[in-house]
Amino acid sequence: MSALPTASAPLPPRRVALILFALAMGGFAIGTSEFVVMGLITEIARAMGVTEPQVGHVISAYALGVVVGAPALALLGGRMSRRSLLLALMGFYAVGNLASALAPGYSSLMLARFVAGLPHGAYFGIAALVAARISPPEQRGTAVGRVMLGLSVALLIGNPLATWLGQAFGWRWAFALVSSIALTTVAMTAHVLPRGMNAPRPDAMRELRDFNRKPVWLALGIGAIGFAGMFCVFSYLAPTLVHVTGVRESFIPFGLIAFGIGGILGTLGGGWLFDRFQFRGAALVLVWSVLILLLFPLAARSAWTVLPAVLAVGTMGALATVLQAHLMDVAAEAQTLAAASNHSAFNMANALGPWLGGTAITAGYGWTSTGVVGAITALGGLAIYAWARADQRASEAALEGSGEAG
């Protein structure tokens, strides 16, 4: 068997396509695992003997794992080749999901979900850099988009499929499915991705200095707070459909499909918003988020209106694309760390949203209170955006002043 080519020579288009498919498959596994608990929240609560809001904390445990693991593994893996790091991260992901499938109780499931979340952000950050490296310069953005498409397809296909599997055969099979997809990703990536994927990286201290700047932290803050509303609603979508809309549990996958379609539209729309409005696109997404989240409690009362409302909530994913592009402009030499940390920020939102929503539900405000709580977090994101814009204008004014003085 001939050796794989190295990254020093241009790769044939077919090999590039296979690599992008393998990387996107990893994104598909991650996306399916990240959101599957939301579709099986009732089944897990019933099997574990806990309440549905308590299962919401399982979602938060995974999100906190992403928050901790993304920057930590991005830095710790800096001396490994990107190929080796990708294989290790996805192998780790397979183990974490297998542990989730085998968890004997609620506490062990919480721990397993935290562990499974650790490689999430670092995988996406490194996969995006590898996709850009193997592609012609004029096609780098398209290549990164194809990798991220795995996450969007997971929302549309993977999550409904895993939810159906969990409802039909038991929730543990959903995590077993994710583990098998992750192992398939490892095998395919090892086969098609050439060695020699290293690239010059700045000194770790230089990277940390560039990362530890106000524009970077404010952008991450917008995602961590402003995006929480989407997860607040989506985390409790299944019981909301059953208890408020009044549909059967077999209807839940259709709600997940609607959310997935919204996610794909949001991802595509976010790129267009940034190209047209730059950082101001974040404000437009946040204003849209406030409106649709406030309307959600009304729309949830009818099967005819709940699916369009869920689709609209899914379009909030545009914020991720806008902020990722903005971070590329402000992160300087901290591109790797910022790419991974963007996923940390959005999983801070994934932890915050279910916790706030579960608190409101437990306090007796009802399942649809998640829309109002989510709108409040979107307003918080707008406040941070206003701070970031004011800081940006001040910096631009200072540069203009120094230029005139020169």
Domain of residue 381, CATH code: 1.20.1250.20
Q: Residues of the chain with pLDDT > 70: what percent?
A: 89
Is residue 202 scored above 60 in pLDDT? no
Residues 329 and 383 in one domain: yes
Residues 358 and 316 in one domain: yes
Looking at 41-55, 170-184, 321-335, which range is the least confident one? 321-335
**Domain end residue (candidates: 142, 165, 199):** 199
- pLDDT for residue 201: 57
Calpha distance 228→290 (Å, rounded): 11
Calpha distance 8→341 (Å, rounded): 29
Calpha distance 84→9 (Å, rounded): 19
Structure tokens at 171: 């929730």
Q: 295 lies in a domain?
A: yes
Q: Which residue has the higher pLDDT, 256 or 245?
A: 245
Q: Which residue has the higher pLDDT, 133 or 169?
A: 169
DSSP string, 204-221: HHHHHHHHSSHHHHHHHH
Q: For residue 36, give the H/E element and its range.
A: helix 13-39
pLDDT, mean of residues 226-230: 90
Q: 310 lies in a domain?
A: yes
Residues 171 and 211 in one domain: no
Calpha distance 63→375 (Å, rounded): 20
Calpha distance 346→342 (Å, rounded): 6
Do the Cβ atoms of 347 and 300 come closer than 8 Å? Answer: no
User: For residue 199, what pLDDT band results from cuts at 50, 70 and 90?
Assistant: low
Residues 118 and 160 in one domain: yes
- pLDDT for residue 246: 86
Tally of residues, the chain: 406
Q: 4 lies in a domain?
A: no
Give the CB-side neighbour count of residue 191, counting CA atoms within 13 A. Answer: 10
Calpha distance 269→254 (Å, rounded): 22
Looking at 46-55, 64-73, 81-90, 390-399, which range is the least confident one? 390-399
User: For residue 378, what pLDDT band results from cuts at 50, 70 and 90?
Assistant: very high
Is residue 347 scored above 80 in pLDDT? no
User: For residue 69, what pLDDT band results from cuts at 50, 70 and 90?
Assistant: confident
pLDDT, mean of residues 167-177: 90
Calpha distance 26→183 (Å, rounded): 9
Find which of 64-73, 90-99, 139-148, 300-309 is predicted with most confidence, using mean pLDDT: 90-99
- Tell me which residue range forms the domain holding 63: 11-199
Q: 6 lies in a domain?
A: no
109: Cα separation from own chain's centroid: 21
Residues 187 and 253 in one domain: no
Residues 151 and 193 in one domain: yes
**Which sign does the torsion angle of CA 310, 266, 225, 337 carry?**
positive
Q: Which residue has the higher pLDDT, 11 or 296?
A: 296
Residues 190 and 206 in one domain: no
Do the Cβ atoms of 26 and 90 come closer than 8 Å? Answer: yes
Contacts of 188 (CB under 8 A, 6+ apart): 18, 21, 22, 25
Calpha distance 23→20 (Å, rounded): 5
Q: 5 lies in a domain?
A: no
Residues 205 and 226 in one domain: yes
Give the CB-side neighbour count of residue 319, counting CA atoms within 13 A. Answer: 35
Of the candidates 305, 289, 315, the residue with the CA atom closest to the CA atom of residue 375: 289
**Domain end residue (candidates: 199, 233, 251):** 199
Is residue 92 scored above 90 in pLDDT? yes
CB atoms inside a 10 Å sphere around CB 209: 14
Is residue 4 scored above 60 in pLDDT? no
Q: 115 lies in a domain?
A: yes
Whole-prediction pTM: 0.73
- pLDDT for residue 194: 84
Residues 100 and 35 in one domain: yes
Q: Which residue has the higher pLDDT, 116 or 320?
A: 116
Residues 134 and 257 in one domain: no
Q: 1 lies in a domain?
A: no
Q: 16 lies in a domain?
A: yes
Is residue 1 scored above 50 in pLDDT? no
Provide the mean pLDDT of the chain.
Answer: 83
Calpha distance 309→296 (Å, rounded): 6
User: For residue 138, what pLDDT band results from cuts at 50, 70 and 90?
Assistant: low
Q: Which residue has the higher pLDDT, 5 or 352?
A: 352
**Domain end residue (candidates: 199, 232, 259):** 199
Residues 257 and 388 in one domain: yes
Residues 212 and 87 in one domain: no
Do the Cβ atoms of 208 and 334 come closer than 8 Å? Answer: yes
Quickly tell me which residue has 């930590």 as its tokens. Answer: 72
Q: How many domains does the chain have?
A: 2
Is residue 200 scored above 60 in pLDDT? no
Is residue 381 scored above 90 in pLDDT? yes
Is residue 142 scored above 70 in pLDDT? no
User: For residue 5, what pLDDT band results from cuts at 50, 70 and 90?
Assistant: very low
Calpha distance 390→246 (Å, rounded): 46
